[in-house]
Amino acid sequence: MKTIALIPAAGMGRRMKAGFNKQYIQLNGRPILARTLALFEEHPRIDRIIVISPADEIDFCRTEIVERFGFTKVQALVAGGSERQHSVRNGLDACAAEAGDIVLIHDGVRPLLPAHLIDEVIDTSRRKGSCIVGVPVKDTVKCVENGTIVSTPDRRTMWLAQTPQAFRFSLLDKAYRVAAAENLAVTDDASVVEHLGEAVPIIEGSYRNIKITTSEDLTLARAFADERTI
């Protein structure tokens, strides 16, 4: 049984307003994507890595990230799609997984993932077929329509989904095929599997496992990265 990491890094990063895609922004001396890939390159239970990049950046990503930093587990660079779910589908098609293999999907701009969470996600998904990482919400959540609060859900039941999200390949492949046939729009991989009626376990992650999307996220990530080197 293999464990294959798919790393979607095909976002345009418009909210960052950096003039180039956010995965190439420097985070304390290394591009964000390079830091993320290093988490899986260095983890002994990851067998291979598939990077999903904008089509016109594949050559750049290969030379400036994969080759420059010596990522030997990266087996392919795949063109992303118009939406994240299409990018993941492209990665699944390229990963050459067998039915029982574990496919782990992790955002290319989450470079501060603690290594022990990779182990926990792999272990749980091998036992139960799937597993994702998340954290309980800290603040009260409001459902709003047209600028007016319509409900206040019980905060005790609310979690923020993160990555990695891991699944047995046969399950995730089937879920994505159904989603494509039904033209289902989703924002994470667990939603695709949930749509099949499958239970998806969630384990508590880290509030530092942030997705770097805005300049404020980058400031916070730099502070966290500094602490990890102390």
> Can you spell out the DSSP letters for 7-51?
EE-----TTT-SSS-GGGSEETTEEHHHHHHHHHHS-TT--EEEE
Q: Give the pLDDT mean for 114-123.
A: 97
Predicted local confidence at residue 211, as pLDDT:
96
HSE of 212 in the Cβ direction (CA atoms, 13 Å)?
30
Contact indicator for 27, 33 with CB cutoff of 8 Å: no
* Residue 82, pLDDT score: 86
166: CATH: 3.90.550.10
Residue 101 pLDDT > 70: yes
How far apart (Å, rounded) are the C-alpha atoms in residues 209 and 205?
A: 7
The reported pLDDT for the residue numbered 230 is: 39
How many separate domains does the chain show?
A: 1
Q: Tokens representing 97?
A: 């997984």
Q: Pairing state of beta strands 130-136 and 48-53? A: unpaired
- Close Cβ partners of 89 (under 8 Å, ≥ 6 residues apart): 81, 176, 180
43: confidence class by pLDDT, cuts 50, 70, 90: very high
Domain that holds residue 18: 3-228
pLDDT exceeds 90 at position 153: yes
> Can you give the pLDDT at residue 10?
79
Across the range 124-138, mean pLDDT stands at 97
Q: At what angle do helices 169-181 and 84-94 cross, to 10 degrees?
A: 130
Exposed / middle / buried, residue 62 (Cβ in 10 Å: 0-12, 13-18, 19+): middle
- Asked if the model's pLDDT at residue 222 lies above 60, the reply is yes
The CA distances from residue 189 to 31, 125, 131, in Å, are 25, 14, 10
Per-residue model confidence (pLDDT) at position 189: 96
Between residues 15 and 211, the one the model is more confident about: 211
